[in-house]
Chains A and B, each alone.
Chain A
């Protein structure tokens, strides 16, 4: 009898920094084991060879910012059994979604001498705005252990174990001192999706929300606390706090708009 075929894994890139797919190559101890467990069928950053689809699992990095990419993502969906987005760009539009709130023509003219050579959409949008997505992994960048967990879960046809609670839970579990209460440092831990292991508070700085909003974040209460005594954060700073790597994630976008001076 022939052994069962290995599942086919594909990695796709749209507008992004490459950091999330690099996280897979950063699994130095596990990479060759992963390559043994699956057939790496499409992964341009790692290999020239391309195995034709369909693919069992497609990991998608990056956001949609061009008309050509808006078409390409449809093709990715068509040839993939499961689509998992990895990182803030694919899941929320990324830092490049800051254009969504400004005039993209002015942006193009500012950076490029010949704006007419540039093909770009007015908005940077997450993958879910274009196709059905089976799972979204948060983070700018994703946590490589969570990435391995998601790949393993999909291969085993089970739900990935990536808790949706806030960074605060991870922080308390590590026994860290709260930087907001103890030092008056604004920290987005209460409203931010867990996954990093409370990295920033462990480095004595406030969380800057790179994993995006947790489930049902109370952004208003958070801002009111930061804006009042004793922190006294000014509205401009608050608006900027919500307007970074997950600027177009709805709860963060709304709160940023509400605080804009």
Chain B
């Protein structure tokens, strides 16, 4: 039986550099590798010796698409180390900011990166020739997310206002007032967006059965909560490393994360949705059900619908928080102490874990960062393995294209994970 090798040398419409390698013998899959060749940048190494107050600005540079996620995990971990409690008003302001990043990052993925797969275009730019209104709607949604980031954080990429303990400058009510009108329009567009993506055709596939996300008693998770899984894991962030192990494999500069005793799992919008459906805003819940989603959804191709539901939720949540906004008091300087701090927050792509050990002068002695894409890598490879096994009759080009589509279900962020894709299909 001849071997087929299918190879995608440079995965498009993902953030960062990766490749795909598939080896087949007849109808038998011999190997599937998601290769991440994003060059290593050694953040965990050079964070040692830096001051604890520098962590939010430095770790933001891991990813230009989700800098707030890095800033939020960093400040919460440092506040944990320093024994700081934050006030409810500050907590609300951080949630508004994080909603902005979800809206921006999700809308980029839904409209510019992922939707072209379902409608048969190479890019949103070619899609815009036939569907200008839809692409415009996506861009305008993304823009509203960016408006929130710029209003609170100063700019869209690597905002400057986040600090350990709070913000450098607390926005006034007047600063944030213009956001409300934008968000009301965005909420309407987000609802139309859910209806639009719900009409796509979704290939049938079952994902890995285990999902991991934060859960919080009062709200859909962003900055706080316990780390829970569908099969019953329920731990505080501080115990993350006791339950999850990162492995280093030859084909990737991203570490692969595995849950001890439970194996492959996934994080991200689908995991959050499956574990926290009850906490969605009523408008998002109704839209999800009307879009044909059950409260538990295990087809990774439907992640685009869930991501759209989360955009709707984030618009609604940000609006609610804005209407109640009371500026928190100015942030006092934070006094360091020799301690270890942990935090998990929900980046747009899923759970993001940070741990720091700092000394009494606030100098970082040790840093550990587990980004969402390294946690999803095994789940992506498993999805690909299953997909290829059922579609060996496709041509190499078709198979490669469909596999890329399956990878984009996870909105992989390769820049983050290189501590991620080319497609290679080899048929033996």
Contacts and interface: CB of A to CB of B under 8 A. Distances in A.
B152 to A, nearest CB: 10
A69 B39 contact: yes
B63 A111 contact: no
A26 B419 contact: no
A132 to B, nearest CB: 23
Contact of B123 (A48, A114, A196, A210): A48
Contacts of A118: 40, 253
A65 to B, nearest CB: 5
Interface in A103-124: 104, 106-108, 110-114, 117-118, 120
B221 interface: no
A203 B157 contact: no
B64 A19 contact: yes
Contacts of B122: 47-49
Interface residues of A, number: 61
A15 interface: yes
Contacts of B17: 13
A208 B57 contact: yes
Interface stretch (A27-35, A76-84, A163-171): A27-35
A17 B57 CA distance: 13
A25 B160 contact: no
A110 B44 contact: yes
A207 to B, nearest CB: 9
Contacts of A238: none
Nearest to A117: B250
Interface of B: 10-17, 38-46, 50-51, 54, 57-58, 61-65, 67, 108, 112-113, 122-126, 128, 132, 135-136, 139-140, 142-143, 146, 154-158, 160-161, 163, 168-169, 247-250, 253, 255, 404, 415, 419
15 contacts: A13-B17, A17-B64, A22-B64, A25-B112, A26-B142, A28-B146, A44-B13, A47-B126, A48-B12, A98-B46, A112-B255, A114-B248, A120-B40, A141-B158, A203-B161
Interface of A: 13-20, 22-23, 25-26, 28-29, 31-32, 35, 40, 44-49, 65-66, 69, 94-96, 98-99, 102, 104, 106-108, 110-114, 117-118, 120, 140-141, 144, 196, 199-200, 202-205, 208, 210, 237, 240, 244-245
